[in-house]
């Protein structure tokens, strides 16, 4: 590829004049923003070890009361993007959130879309626009853009979940803001996963009217997702076992910016995921094993850990147990890539 001119090739007086006019020459930077064949990737291959992070999160509960935090979170920041930028991938934010018994994270709403994956604890629930969503290990709970949500913990011991938001994207678009609100009143006794959306392929049609544009299902119980993967394993003896979380009314991705799924590795199984443009994050619900990217050094992971891996790469996952399956929940930017035509 032809070598392009550098900034140093230009006279200093010319460069100074460009700066005064808020101008930048493209050609010295062109290879950086349009690299040949494969884009530059900042997302590092990384594992956030839950057993190491948990004591720091509990210490945050001692150091900072809820009224001083509003949301008590330790952000999982990928060093490839810079820790202060709070990015796990180019447009995905992740954080571990803690609520202690008797606490309430106050009601608010914001423009970024958010998902909670419950890691530990019982007796808590999230209220989203008046719908109480029970929080159990592995559950996926949505708080779409603009919806009011607050978190209550009425059980014993801490409850911890993984927040996943499209915050970096919305922030860069200068569209990120939040609004505080009064405590909500529940309009339903429990979330719609118990009735309206309790079975795949069956959706409510009350008074011959179908659901909303946003996913009307806010809680995706892990128990059902896991059961589905186990049943699939009985039918498919080889091949990657994976399911996608979708809007039950339309079949579309939960959010236009982030796609969510779950996968299962059979005992002792090693799989290389199809090579894709999007970076990906993995949360380990059950099991232990290793992840490697493009044949590089293996990164070990255990139950409750969270991992990141770059796009345009061969991502290999290995189940370290010969007796037990592995279950993971995944998040990536595939819906956004598809919309932009770069997937």
Output the pLDDT for position 72: 97
**pLDDT for 172 beyond 90:** yes
CA dist 123 to 154, 218, 271, 304, Å?
Answer: 5, 18, 36, 19
Q: What is the pLDDT of residues 218-265, one digit of tens each?
A: 999 999 999 999 999 999 999 999 999 999 999 999 999 999 999 999
Instruction: Work out the number of other CB atoms within 10 angstroms of the CB of residue 75.
Output: 16
Position 2 confidence tier, pLDDT thresholds 50, 70, 90: confident
The terminus-to-terminus CA distance of the chain in angstroms comes to: 25
pTM > 0.75: yes or no = yes
Check if the beta carbon of residue 127 is closer than 8 Å to that of residue 184: yes
pLDDT at 212: 65
- The SS3 assignment for 269 reads coil
52, pLDDT greater than 90: yes
Mean pLDDT across the chain, nearest whole number?
A: 96
Q: Which residue has the higher pLDDT, 26 or 216?
A: 26
What is the structure's pLDDT at 211? 67
Q: Which two tokens stand for residue 127?
A: 């209220």
Length of the chain as a residue count: 343
From the CA atom positions of the chain, what is the Rg in Å? 22
* Cα–Cα distances in angstroms (integers) from residue 49 to residues 76, 163, 190, in the given order: 11, 16, 33
Q: What is the pLDDT of residue 204?
A: 87
Cβ density class 119-146: b for 16+ within 10 Å, e for less: bebeebbbbbbebbbbbbbbbbbbbbbe
């Amino acid at each position: 590829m032809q070598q392009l001119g550098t900034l140093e090739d230009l006279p200093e007086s010319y460069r100074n004049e460009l700066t005064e006019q808020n101008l930048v020459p493209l050609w010295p930077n062109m290879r950086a923003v349009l690299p040949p064949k494969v884009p530059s990737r900042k997302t590092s291959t990384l594992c956030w070890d839950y057993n190491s992070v948990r004591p720091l999160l509990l210490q945050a509960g001692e150091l900072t009361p809820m009224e001083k935090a509003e949301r008590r979170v330790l952000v999982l920041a990928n060093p490839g993007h810079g820790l202060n930028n709070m990015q796990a991938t180019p447009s995905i934010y992740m954080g571990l959130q803690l609520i202690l018994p008797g606490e309430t994270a106050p009601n608010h709403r914001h423009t970024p879309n958010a998902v909670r994956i419950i890691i530990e604890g019982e007796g808590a629930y999230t209220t989203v626009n008046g719908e109480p969503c029970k929080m159990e290990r592995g559950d996926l709970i949505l708080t779409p853009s603009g919806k009011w949500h607050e978190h209550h913990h009425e059980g014993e011991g801490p409850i911890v979940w993984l927040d996943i938001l499209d915050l970096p994207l919305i922030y860069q678009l200068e569209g990120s803001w939040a609004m505080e609100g009064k405590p909500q009143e529940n309009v339903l006794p429990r979330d719609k996963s118990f009735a309206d959306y309790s079975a795949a392929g069956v959706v409510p049609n009350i008074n011959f009217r179908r659901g909303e544009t946003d996913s009307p299902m806010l809680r995706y119980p892990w128990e059902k997702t896991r059961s589905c993967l186990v049943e699939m394993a009985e039918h498919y003896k080889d091949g990657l076992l994976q399911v996608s979380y979708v809007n039950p009314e339309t079949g579309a991705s939960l959010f236009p910016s982030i796609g969510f799924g779950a996968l299962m590795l059979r005992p002792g199984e090693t799989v290389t995921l199809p090579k894709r443009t999007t970076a990906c994050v993995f949360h380990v619900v059950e099991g232990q094993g290793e992840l490697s990217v493009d044949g590089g050094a293996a990164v070990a992971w255990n139950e409750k850990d969270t991992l990141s891996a770059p796009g345009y790469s061969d991502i290999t996952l290995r189940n370290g147990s010969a007796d037990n399956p592995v279950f993971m929940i995944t998040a990536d930017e595939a819906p956004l890539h598809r919309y932009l035509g770069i997937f």
